[in-house]
Amino acid sequence: MYQGGYTGKILRINLGSQTAKVEETPEPMANDFIGGAGFGIKLLFDEVKANTDPLGPDNKLIFASGPLSGTNVPCTSRMSVTSRSPLTGAVGMALSGGYFPVELKWAGYDAMIIEGKSEEPVYVSIKDGDVKFRSAKKLWGMKTTDTQQIIKNDLHDQNVRVACIGPAGENKIKIASIINEWRAVGRKGLGAVMGSKNLKAIAIRGTGKVAVADKEKLKAARKVFTEAMKESEVLYPVFANTGTPMVVDATSAIGIFPTRNYMTTGEYNAAETLGVEVQMTRNVGSEPCYGCPVGCSQLKLAKTGAYEGILTEGPEFETMYSYGGVTGVDNIDAVIAADRLADELGLDTISSGVSIAFAMELYEKGILTKEDTGGIELNFGNDQAMITILKQMAYRQGIGGLLADGTKAAAEKIGKGSEKYAMHVKGLELPAYDVRGAKAHGLNYATSYTGADHCRGYAFQEIFGIPVPYEVDRFSAEGKGKLTKWNQDIRTATTDAPGMCAFLFDMAVVGIAAQNTASLLEAVTGLTFTPDDILVAGERINNLARAFNVREGFTRADDTLPERILTEPLKGGASKGNYISRDELDLMLDEYYTARGWDVATGAPSREKLAELGIEYVADQLN
Amino acid sequence: MYQGGYTGKILRINLGSQTAKVEETPEPMANDFIGGAGFGIKLLFDEVKANTDPLGPDNKLIFASGPLSGTNVPCTSRMSVTSRSPLTGAVGMALSGGYFPVELKWAGYDAMIIEGKSEEPVYVSIKDGDVKFRSAKKLWGMKTTDTQQIIKNDLHDQNVRVACIGPAGENKIKIASIINEWRAVGRKGLGAVMGSKNLKAIAIRGTGKVAVADKEKLKAARKVFTEAMKESEVLYPVFANTGTPMVVDATSAIGIFPTRNYMTTGEYNAAETLGVEVQMTRNVGSEPCYGCPVGCSQLKLAKTGAYEGILTEGPEFETMYSYGGVTGVDNIDAVIAADRLADELGLDTISSGVSIAFAMELYEKGILTKEDTGGIELNFGNDQAMITILKQMAYRQGIGGLLADGTKAAAEKIGKGSEKYAMHVKGLELPAYDVRGAKAHGLNYATSYTGADHCRGYAFQEIFGIPVPYEVDRFSAEGKGKLTKWNQDIRTATTDAPGMCAFLFDMAVVGIAAQNTASLLEAVTGLTFTPDDILVAGERINNLARAFNVREGFTRADDTLPERILTEPLKGGASKGNYISRDELDLMLDEYYTARGWDVATGAPSREKLAELGIEYVADQLN
């Protein structure tokens, strides 16, 4: 019996039969996979068979908060959404915050599995045990802000929280996001999975509480945690005021903020036009997630030209990169406008921006012509063109239609050697951070189970110079295998699974993360978790996710980086001259697979490793 | 002591001192002015001295619901907002529905008087007796939907209802509106008055109830009312499904739907491109006001081209005219997009559309050139130009800046005889209905205390052929004076003052309106109201409003119509050949002043009439 943290219930929603049932959360799953992304990946591996069409009725979409979500532990309103990604074919797992994650817990569920496909557009409304299927025929085509408001009105309840898709998800754009309020489940095309199921939205409200096993113990653990937060030199003093866009300055300073589709020459200093000083002139307040005393989420209001009066949350650092640096757009107000537009349409800001930057380079190289673009002058820096194409993407129109499923699909259609300018791994567009100047970060992009993903094994050692667990040289390939394994496992186990904001990890508890997570989990759940258990759970989840990908046919050959990263030295800035050679990548992969106990030739988890992690059954499905 | 309907309290908010106090609603005011617009005009006349700058701190803004608002009488969530209009200099009174009006009552107030000017942007939050002044510095510049959501988040209360201004109001555009949810206090520039006071928004929530004096009596009165609603051949069978835009068809059929700035040739049949059949292809649901079983408010979603995915409420009939017919735009999706944009910017749809149509005619006539428009090809039917200029208006940019304060101000700036194409009365742009084919409606435009206003004395006899109180010939000028007086008085007394939706009057109780209102008011308030009392109250309110205007210097000479209406016969359609000659206007005015007991030479209320109505004190201020 669960004592706290877990509700012990999983809600299974079948859209085909329009039925809902409640199942028990298996107790071993709590111990072994913690929750959140751990649950998502466990359920995905077990329930979604190999070669399932990501946009077919047999794919599933698993929402899961963590055991800490919904308690009074700060910064724990987080959830994972897991599916087979239509963009990559690999595990599609993305995280989001806001209020939806705690409502899911308060409604009584550790996780929610959505399966099947509705014949007609629907939305699901959940209030505690009451699950209803409601027609979304009239909502089909609406943008995300309107959708959320109309659903609140429809339910006569302004207090529900709504996760929904926009036109992009409806049109099964493979870079479509899921939006709830100012938050996005942004990457890997999970919005398209919702669209493929004719599921416009999920509205949820919970009136329950999450039990805590040992309140005194939690008080103590919480104190250690909040004291660590207070001691951080970054969290409250800087991050609370500026949010993630401060990273524009930090990465520009070390020469790894990519500009112009990674042709980065160093002549264009993004920090001057998009950095914190400029951003703060647009700042109009903060919209924290539930229970967050920091409030990194910053609202910005565009001030000039055609963009005047457009409000957005963020744009987060990644979006400053995707609609700013990488497209060569240096107009902060255009970035604000594009960000809001993408959220309204339900498009991933990273993948959409990088796809447009890709097209810009092809246009400048003459591989795409004005005929291809429908008359748009698609040069770097053309903010109006960017915004026009963003809109086209959501509706598969014009040149936007060509780019709508990301750079990999676009390059396949375009041919003419364009693939070498396509900045993706496994089909997922590169987030910010030019990994030619941060090689462990590059190895993470190459090996992360979701494709090029900064959220899986963020190499803060290289980017911020934080010497945990040890100091590293960001330009060196050596020693990065073991580091990347550690980065991936600890991040998974201390943030993605328990339902904890990753920024807390980076900025407050990086040195004590495993201990902190173990203490909080023990206090909240009443189960036993040592710091080592935490790291092993992280490793288990990463192995299972890798196994899912192997089962889908992914091999070492897929653990690679875009050709530009592997062949073109950075032309300017503080990382000038660096790149990751193929030899370096191979060295890092060898080290990484070895550290992981995986087959160095194939990149597949060994039976021994899987057995050691208590999931030997998985090995039977890999051959 | 008040027994029901009235809360007996008026909230006075001073923005200069940031203080709020509660005053008693004077009991005679209830009997004599009923509430709503009646209270607004009484308070305006008494508190806002002659020659007060409409955009100065001495102007006031009076929100008032009616005694029926907040009770269980259907369709009574209505409020008036009254001020000296910056657009006309006359009484600025406009009505709105939604939920805000009932919240005001539930919070405990019959009316709310806003006076003074805040030094810095503020918003006022009201929860019952708790009134707070909160900084709106960060909200300044935001569009209206965002403003409302951010305020809800700021107050941690998703259930407040927010009335706010957009950039247009902030920039004191004299055709700025006040927006609450899908509802607008649209006309006469009341949004600019809020802007001039540095008041971005008012957030309100009430938890009280409105008492009812005699519940049994109300039950009976309510039954008569709701039965009449059910018997209407229009209200539920048609109006509930289509809302106001059905009037496009009705007015097109009788040749009074104006097209191309009233150059209407009849060749362009608006019903074919903007009529009900087309509109229903965009319909995506209904958003009724509080307590309304009809739900005329229809949501529409644009489907094509650049407008795809844009949602709006309406566009109401008047907006189909202002962004459709009169600008020659025949693209329903462009009208939808323009409507949403105007609501987001906080611009009156009627005045802004008519002002753009005015500029279109000047452009086609060569009075405005491409140099004046900044390169915009401002021909009739250019929907993109319309949308560009709408946005410019809110920020006083380009040609939009020239048009931002309406046609009268624009004509004064442009000169070159442009005034004769400016379709306004007293500075207020004409609503739909070409009054050349509906002459009492024209007389109402000429004499209404707010300028050309379809909401004051709607001549349903001419437009829908309803023979109440008697049958009329819409092409005749004779007999329209008495009719217009009746139309104005009964509309004021049965809808604007008690807080009742005007559509109920037109469609359900037109024949029994005075009796119905008297019965409902007696039951709810416990005061005595005969049907005759109702009509006299309507007359009293209209006299007082007229007196306000006379005190501001308005005379018979201002009771006129645009030159085109007075000189150019309609060129096509079912009213072809008709116009209102100057002689006809004079005849109608003579009849009207006589019926009103006003001085025929000056149009001023006589001391005798004012004494008869119990407001002789007013006469002392008119000389």
Lay out the sheet containing A91-96: strands in order across. Answer: A19-24, A9-14, A111-115, A61-65, A79-84, A91-96
CB contact under 8 A, A311 and B146: yes
Helix (H) or strand (E) segment spanning residue A588:
helix A582-596
Helix (H) or strand (E) segment spanning residue A217:
helix A215-231
pLDDT tens for residues A566-606?
Answer: 999 999 999 999 999 999 999 999 999 999 999 999 999 99
pLDDT band at A31 (very low <50, low <70, confident <90, very high): very high
Burial, A360: exposed, middle or buried (Cβ in 10 Å; 0-12, 13-18, 19+)? buried
CA A392/CA A255 separation, integer angstroms: 33
CA B35/CA B537 separation, integer angstroms: 10
- The token duo for B82 is 């009254």
The answer to whether B35 and B524 are in contact (CB under 8 A) is no
Q: Among residues of chain A, what percentage have pLDDT more than 90?
A: 97
pLDDT along chain B (623 residues), means of 10: 94 98 95 98 98 98 98 97 98 98 98 98 98 98 98 97 98 98 98 98 98 98 97 94 92 95 85 93 96 96 96 96 97 98 98 98 98 98 98 98 98 98 98 97 98 95 95 97 98 97 91 96 97 98 98 98 98 96 98 98 97 98 88
- The token duo for A468 is 């945990």
DSSP-derived 3-state class of residue B339: helix
CA A132/CA A202 separation, integer angstroms: 10
User: A331 in a domain, yes or no?
Assistant: yes
Find the mean pLDDT for residues A85-92: 98
Q: Are residues B529 and B400 in the same domain?
A: no
CA B115/CA B62 separation, integer angstroms: 9
CATH code: domain of residue B482: 1.10.599.10
Chain B residues bordering chain A (beta-carbon distance below 8 Å)? 138-139, 141-143, 145-146, 149-150, 152-154, 158-159, 166-167, 284-285, 287, 299, 301, 303, 306, 308-311, 345, 391, 394-395
The answer to whether B38 and B79 are in contact (CB under 8 A) is no
CB contact under 8 A, B142 and A395: no
pTM of structure: 0.97
The answer to whether B344 and B144 are in contact (CB under 8 A) is yes
pLDDT tens for residues A306-320?
Answer: 999 999 999 999 999
What is the secondary structure of A308-354 as a DSSP string?
A: TT-EEE---HHHHHHTTGGGT---HHHHHHHHHHHHHHTB-HHHHHH
Residue B269 is predicted with a pLDDT of 82
Backbone angles phi, psi at B15, to 5 degrees: -75, -25
- The token duo for B463 is 């437009």
Residue B580 is predicted with a pLDDT of 98
Q: Are residues A197 and A283 in the same domain?
A: no
Instruction: For residue B8, give how far its alpha carbon lies from the nearest alpha carbon of chain A (Å).
Output: 30
Residue A506 is predicted with a pLDDT of 87
Q: Are residues A59 and A177 in the same domain?
A: yes
Q: Are residues A290 and A148 in the same domain?
A: no
CB atoms within 10 A of CB B442: 31
Find the mean pLDDT for residues A391-420: 98
Q: What is the ipTM of this complex?
A: 0.96
pLDDT at A562 over 90: yes
Of B138, B345, B391, the CB nearest to A285: B138
Q: Are residues A48 and A93 in the same domain?
A: yes
Name chain A contacts of B173, Cβ cutoff 8 Å. none
Of B143, B150, B309, the CB nearest to A143: B309
CA B536/CA B521 separation, integer angstroms: 15
Which DSSP category does A176 fall into? B
The answer to whether B450 and B88 are in contact (CB under 8 A) is yes
User: A231 in a domain, yes or no?
Assistant: no
CB contact under 8 A, B141 and A287: no
Residue A425 is predicted with a pLDDT of 98
Nearest-CA residue of chain B relative to A142? B309
To the nearest 10 degrees (0 to 180), the angle between helices B480-491 and B439-447 is: 60
Residue B266 is predicted with a pLDDT of 77
CA A365/CA A362 separation, integer angstroms: 5
pLDDT band at A437 (very low <50, low <70, confident <90, very high): very high
Of A158, A167, A309, the CB nearest to B167: A309
Q: Are residues B415 and B440 in the same domain?
A: no
CATH code: domain of residue A377: 1.10.569.10
User: B53 in a domain, yes or no?
Assistant: yes
Nearest-CA residue of chain A relative to B311? A142
User: A219 in a domain, yes or no?
Assistant: no
Q: Are residues A276 and A148 in the same domain?
A: no
Chain A residues bordering chain B (beta-carbon distance below 8 Å)? 138-139, 141-143, 145-146, 149-150, 152-154, 158-159, 166-167, 284-285, 287, 299, 301, 303, 306, 308-311, 345, 391, 394-395
Last residue of a domain, one of A153, A183, A205: A205
Q: Which of A518, A497, A623 is nearest to A37 (CA)?
A: A497
CA atoms within 13 A on the CB side of A39: 35
User: A389 in a domain, yes or no?
Assistant: yes
The answer to whether A317 and A247 are in contact (CB under 8 A) is yes
Which residue's entry shows tokens 């993407």? A393
User: B29 in a domain, yes or no?
Assistant: yes
Q: Are residues B192 and B277 in the same domain?
A: no
User: A574 in a domain, yes or no?
Assistant: no
Q: Are residues A68 and A184 in the same domain?
A: yes
Rg of chain A in Å (alpha carbons): 22
Nearest-CA residue of chain A relative to B300? A138
pLDDT at A623 over 90: no
Which residue type, as a one-letter code, is found at position B404?
A
DSSP-derived 3-state class of residue A250: helix
Last residue of a domain, one of A179, A205, A231: A205
Q: Are residues B64 and B160 in the same domain?
A: yes
Nearest-CA residue of chain B relative to A346? B309
- The token duo for A246 is 């401060």
CA B385/CA B402 separation, integer angstroms: 15
User: A236 in a domain, yes or no?
Assistant: no
Residue B265 is predicted with a pLDDT of 82
Residue B417 is predicted with a pLDDT of 97
Lay out the sheet containing A311-313: strands in order across. Answer: A283-286, A298-301, A311-313
Q: Which residues contact B586 (CB under 8 A, 6 or more apart)?
A: none
Residue B128 is predicted with a pLDDT of 98
Instruction: For residue B141, give how far its alpha carbon lies from the nearest alpha carbon of chain A (Å).
Output: 6
The answer to whether A148 and A162 are in contact (CB under 8 A) is yes
Q: Are residues A57 and A181 in the same domain?
A: yes
Q: Which of B159, B143, B345 is nearest to A145 (CA)?
A: B143
Burial, B234: exposed, middle or buried (Cβ in 10 Å; 0-12, 13-18, 19+)? middle
CA A1/CA A211 separation, integer angstroms: 12
Q: Which residues contact A617 (CB under 8 A, 6 or more apart)?
A: none
CA A160/CA A576 separation, integer angstroms: 50
Backbone angles phi, psi at A23, to 5 degrees: -120, 160
pLDDT at A268 over 80: no
pLDDT at A43 over 80: yes
The whole domain housing A250 covers 243-423
CA B159/CA B155 separation, integer angstroms: 10
Nearest-CA residue of chain B relative to A146? B311
The Cα-based distances of B2 to A348, B128, B533 in angstroms read 58, 18, 19
Q: Which of A363, A342, A181, A185 is nearest to A261 (CA)?
A: A363
Residue B623 is predicted with a pLDDT of 75
- Give chain B's length: 623
Of B153, B285, B391, the CB nearest to A138: B285
CB contact under 8 A, A395 and B308: yes
Residue A185 is predicted with a pLDDT of 98
A-B Cβ pairs (cutoff 8 Å, strict): 71
Split into its structural domains, chain B has a count of: 3
Q: Which residues contact B623 (CB under 8 A, 6 or more apart)?
A: none
Backbone angles phi, psi at A204, to 5 degrees: -140, 145
Which of A153, A333, A344 is most worth mutating to test chain B (most B CB atoms within 10 A of its CB)? A153
Q: Which residues contact B508 (CB under 8 A, 6 or more apart)?
A: B225, B228, B229, B231, B232, B235
Respond yes or no on whether the N-terminal peptide bond of residue B467 is cis (omega within 30° of 0).
no
Last residue of a domain, one of B368, B403, B423: B423
Q: Are residues B355 and B442 in the same domain?
A: no
CATH code: domain of residue A180: 3.60.9.10
The answer to whether A175 and A404 are in contact (CB under 8 A) is yes
Name chain B contacts of A303, Cβ cutoff 8 Å. 141
Angle at A142 between CA A140 and CA A144, to 5 degrees: 120
- The token duo for A98 is 């806001």
Which DSSP category does A347 fall into? B
